[in-house]
């Protein structure tokens, strides 16, 4: 049963990894990196501080806890526990993997830290803001982040799916902790971010980044990540 699932995982991986163009190599390389998303992070900080510095510090703290929890579960626990090779490091499979810019990633890939972090942030923020358009937009962002990892050849679909589940659960748990802390610190006052129209700023920045990547990816230094 396990062997059949592993073979299926590899077959599905090849569907995502086998079709490359130079343009999309550059697009996915940028999407999987961190630098391009700095404006998005700053837009979150802006929205948080619009509700006051105390509210902002609590929200930022819980986002940091979410990321830390996702990272520890994926990189601190699962990768050394399961020791599943990334496609790029699998001695029996790496010859079939298409890579980008020589990027191989670390030795082990189960579960995906990118998927865990992306879905952890997505679920936490979806519960925090309760905005339908933002919710759809941030899920698209998380899925693109996950897809980029398979496109680049550094994660199997199973790594991504399990990472996304771990991240989603972490985001949910951290939001529940946030609710408890918010109730104690602010004397049961309602959470101010729910239905906060300022989240439209974050959503707008997200789509501006998408458009920027699609237009200027061929012009951006290929080694920036």
Give the start-to-end residue ranges of the domains of the chain: 43-219
The phi, psi pair for 28, rounded to 5°, reads -70, -30
Task: Tell me how far apart the alpha carbons of residues 114 and 103 are, in angstroms, rounded to a whole number.
Answer: 15
Q: Check whether 223 has a pLDDT greater than 80.
A: no
| Across 71-75, 158-162, 184-188, least confident range | 184-188
HSE value, Cβ hemisphere, 13 Å, CA-based, for 151 = 21
Q: Which residues contact 185 (CB under 8 A, 6 or more apart)?
A: 54, 58
Q: Check whether 145 has a pLDDT greater than 80.
A: yes
pLDDT at 48: 97
pLDDT at 2: 82
Q: Tell me the pLDDT band of 225, cut-offs 50, 70 and 90.
A: very low
pLDDT at 112: 98
Tens-place pLDDT, residues 19-28: 999 999 999 9
> Of the candidates 192, 188, 172, which has an alpha carbon nearest to the alpha carbon of residue 180?
188
Which two structure tokens, joined as six digits, stand for 49? 């501080």
Tens-place pLDDT, residues 170-222: 999 999 999 999 999 998 889 999 989 999 999 999 999 999 999 998 887 65
Which two structure tokens, joined as six digits, stand for 60? 């930022």
pLDDT at 224: 42
Q: What is the mean pLDDT of the chain?
A: 95
The phi, psi pair for 108, rounded to 5°, reads -110, 150
Q: Check whether 83 has a pLDDT greater than 50.
A: yes
pLDDT at 195: 85
Tens-place pLDDT, residues 87-128: 999 999 999 999 999 999 999 999 999 999 999 999 999 999
Kindly indicate whether the domain formed by 43-219 is annotated with CATH number 1.10.3470: no
């Amino acid at each position: 049963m396990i062997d059949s699932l592993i073979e299926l995982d590899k077959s599905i991986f090849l569907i995502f990894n086998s079709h490359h163009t130079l343009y999309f190599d550059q697009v996915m390389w940028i999407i999987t990196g961190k630098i391009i998303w700095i404006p998005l992070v700053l837009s979150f900080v802006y929205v948080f501080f619009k509700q006051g510095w105390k509210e902002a510090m609590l929200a930022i703290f819980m986002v940091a806890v979410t990321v830390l929890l996702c990272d520890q579960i994926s990189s601190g626990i699962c990768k050394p526990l399961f020791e599943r090779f990334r496609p790029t490091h699998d001695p029996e499979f790496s010859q079939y993997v298409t890579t980008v810019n020589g990027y191989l990633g670390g030795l082990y890939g189960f579960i995906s830290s990118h998927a865990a972090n992306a879905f952890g942030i997505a679920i936490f923020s979806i519960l925090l803001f309760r905005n339908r358009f933002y919710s759809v937009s941030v899920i698209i962002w998380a899925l693109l982040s996950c897809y980029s990892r398979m496109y680049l050849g550094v994660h199997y679909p199973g790594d991504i799916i399990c990472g996304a589940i771990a991240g989603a659960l972490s985001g949910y748990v951290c939001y529940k902790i946030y609710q408890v802390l918010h109730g104690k610190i602010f004397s049961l006052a309602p959470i101010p971010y729910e239905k906060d129209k300022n989240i439209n700023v974050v959503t707008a920045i997200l789509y501006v980044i998408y458009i920027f990547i699609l237009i200027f990816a061929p012009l951006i230094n290929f080694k920036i990540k």
